[in-house]
Amino acid sequence: MSVFLTTTRLALREFTAADAPLLTELDGDPDVMRYLTGGRPTPAAEIRERVLPRMLAAYRRPPGWGWWAAQRRDDGAFLGWFEFRPTTEGDHREVELGYRLRRAAWGDGYATEGARALVDKGFAELGVARVVATTMAVNRGSRRVLEKAGLSYVRTFHQDWPEAIAGAEHGEVEYALTRQQWRAGRPATSPSPAGH
């Protein structure tokens, strides 16, 4: 198992082909998929044939980019994943932050902890100039996580989705944080997450 980053409570590691059942279970929860597909699960075949191969292919690029399986450090339980990868192929100055956690992990601060650690690593070690993230405007939980991770609201925009889901009429929101903003807002005595 190749661990990319650890925090106080999390280990973020590379996915492997053996993780297909974990991803299928994650994407099979209607509550997890509510703001992504309207609650429709991702079929197991799609996970095996499209989703997981895409995740695994990301690791062949320069280190630091891709999707990271999130496990609890104390017992190894799979909590979900975090995404941290360039918005433009080959250019790591702007990176997209994303996450998807099991419902059992909601409300315990794991999303904020993982997001903050990735943001810090991106700015401190990986040469990132700007971190961006998007979510549905009505997804208040994700918006709070992005704000706690230091990102600020940039804009609301509308996309044409093949299948509209509840709340889509309110649009999507973009959040962002630049390296300069991160430096200005970071306390001088702030400890780095474990594993840096």
pLDDT of residue 186: 58
The tens digit of pLDDT for each residue in 27-47 reads: 999 999 998 888 999 999 999
Please check the confidence at residue 70 and state whether its pLDDT lies above 70. Answer: yes
- Dig out the tokens for 154 from the structure: 């940039």
**Residues linked to residue 157 through DSSP beta bridges, in sequence order:** 172
The tens digit of pLDDT for each residue in 9-20 reads: 999 999 999 999
Mean pLDDT for all residues in the chain: 90
What residues contact residue 58 under an 8 Å CB cut-off, 6+ apart?
65, 66, 67, 85
| Residue-range domain boundaries for the chain | 3-185
**Distance (Å, whole) CA 26 – CA 37:** 13
90 neighbors 84 (Cβ within 8 angstroms): no
Collapsing DSSP states into helix, strand and coil, what is residue 108?
coil
For the whole model, what pTM was predicted?
0.89
3-185, what's its fold?
A: Aminopeptidase (3.40.630)
